[in-house]
Structure 1
Amino acid sequence: MPNFENLRKKAKQFKRWHQDRYYPVAAEIRHWLARYRHLDDQQILDLGFKLADAQELVAAQAGFESWAALKKGLTEMSATDQRKSASQPTLLDAQPQLFVDDIQAACDFYSQKLGFTIAFTYGEPPFYAQVVRGAARLNLRHVDMPAFHPELRQRERDILSATITLDDVKALFLEYTANSVPFHQPLRLEPWGARTFIVCDPDGNLIAFAG
């Protein structure tokens, strides 16, 4: 469970970043606070951004509709967490980072072909982005050289960049087939009982989908 004092510090940090005109914070503000979504980075940094706004952003990131709801929720959860060992942390999320040659082309592929939503892009021209579908988040990072040596790719053809699990893998496979998505491996039943297929993005990143 998040520590409330750490979340307070995080909100203050967001406010300082805005005051210091640290551009990456504009993308976070735009993504998490709906009233800023029609504004570009410069407009967001030109507007006032109070501590209450930063607290609202932190609450949204934690899945709460407001700072008050976050505070109440953490209080209620603490009673349950007290019965758990502090030495057994729970991992809540994982966000694979994919290396790509062209951020815009990668965003187009993941949004138009794979049905992801672009959470944000950053930079002019963009060199970093995040795409989201359901609970799956993929971070896209521009690189000028291939992340894997060509000889390694040639020798190890099934190196995965990410694995995404879902409840109905066949339905997604049919969706992607209809959308002419390039497959590295079609839908199949694995020896351990899972159904899987693998998609190859324009940069050669292999994304496995398993159910």
Structure 2
Amino acid sequence: MLTDINPKLPMRDKNITRQFYIHKLGFKEFGSADFDGYLMMEKDQIQIHFFEFKELDPKENYGQVYIRTDNIDSFYQSLLDNKTNIHPNGPLEIKPWGQKEFSVLDPDNNLLTFGQSI
């Protein structure tokens, strides 16, 4: 039976992606192996994997992940404290579908939406 999911998103530059997720979102690198063209990041109980796509045009990237949290206010504040840019169309707000959400774009234009049921 299904037990977990690890989304795979494109990245142009492994070091830039690594630094963004560590310093802006509070992730850490998963595992000790440094795979060529592949990166695994984790925070709490989730992992996001990245594959190298050097020719990626960020304006044409539609990579998206919806991440559920149980303390959205605290996480949102931690991102603000880290001077992480919140998506201009995705500020923290309560949505009509009963979720409190906000969104962030990573350096390759992957959309990360964080949400908590209210």
TM range (shorter): 0.7 to 0.9
Would the aligned equivalents of 2:9 and 2:63 in 1 still touch at CA under 8 Å?
no
Q: Find 1:177's aligned residue among 68, 76, 80.
A: 80
Would the aligned equivalents of 2:58 and 2:108 in 1 still touch at CA under 8 Å?
no
TM-score (norm 2): 0.87
Give secondary structure in 2 for the equivalent of 1:106: helix
Measured in 2, the distance between the counterparts of 1:180 and 1:95 equals 26
Measured in 2, the distance between the counterparts of 1:107 and 1:141 equals 12
| Alignment size in residue pairs | 112
Measured in 2, the distance between the counterparts of 1:180 and 1:148 equals 21
- The alignment status of 1:165 with 2:68, answered yes or no, reads yes
Measured in 2, the distance between the counterparts of 1:171 and 1:180 equals 14
TM-score (norm 1): 0.50
Please list every run of 5 or more consecutive structure 1 residues that lacks an aligned counterpart in the other structure: 1-88, 154-158
Q: Tell which structure's C-alpha radius of gyration is larger.
A: 1
Fraction of identical pairs, as percent:
26
1:17-36 superposed matches below 5 A: none
Give secondary structure in 2 for the equivalent of 1:186: coil
- By how many angstroms is 1:176 displaced? 0.3
Q: Find 2:35's aligned residue among 109, 122, 127.
A: 122
Which structure has more RCO (C-alpha within 8 Å, separation ≥ 6)?
Answer: 2
- Structure (1/2) with the larger helix percentage: 1
- Structure (1/2) with the larger strand percentage: 2
What is the aligned-residue RMSD (CA, Å)?
Answer: 1.7
Give, as a single letter, the amino acid of the residue that structure 2 aligns with 1:187: L
Q: Deviations over 1:173-195 (max 9, x none)?
A: 11101111111111010101110
Residues 95 and 142 from structure 1, CA distance in 2 versus in 1: closer, same or farther, beyond 3 angstroms? same
Residues 202 and 148 from structure 1, CA distance in 2 versus in 1: closer, same or farther, beyond 3 angstroms? closer
Residues 93 and 161 from structure 1, CA distance in 2 versus in 1: closer, same or farther, beyond 3 angstroms? same
Please list every run of 5 or more consecutive structure 2 residues that lacks an aligned counterpart in the other structure: none
1:45-124 superposed matches below 5 A: 89=1, 91-120=2-31, 121-123=34-36
Give secondary structure in 2 for the equivalent of 1:122: coil
Would the aligned equivalents of 1:132 and 1:138 in 2 still touch at CA under 8 Å?
yes
Measured in 2, the distance between the counterparts of 1:148 and 1:195 equals 27
- By how many angstroms is 1:111 displaced? 0.7
- By how many angstroms is 1:96 displaced? 0.6
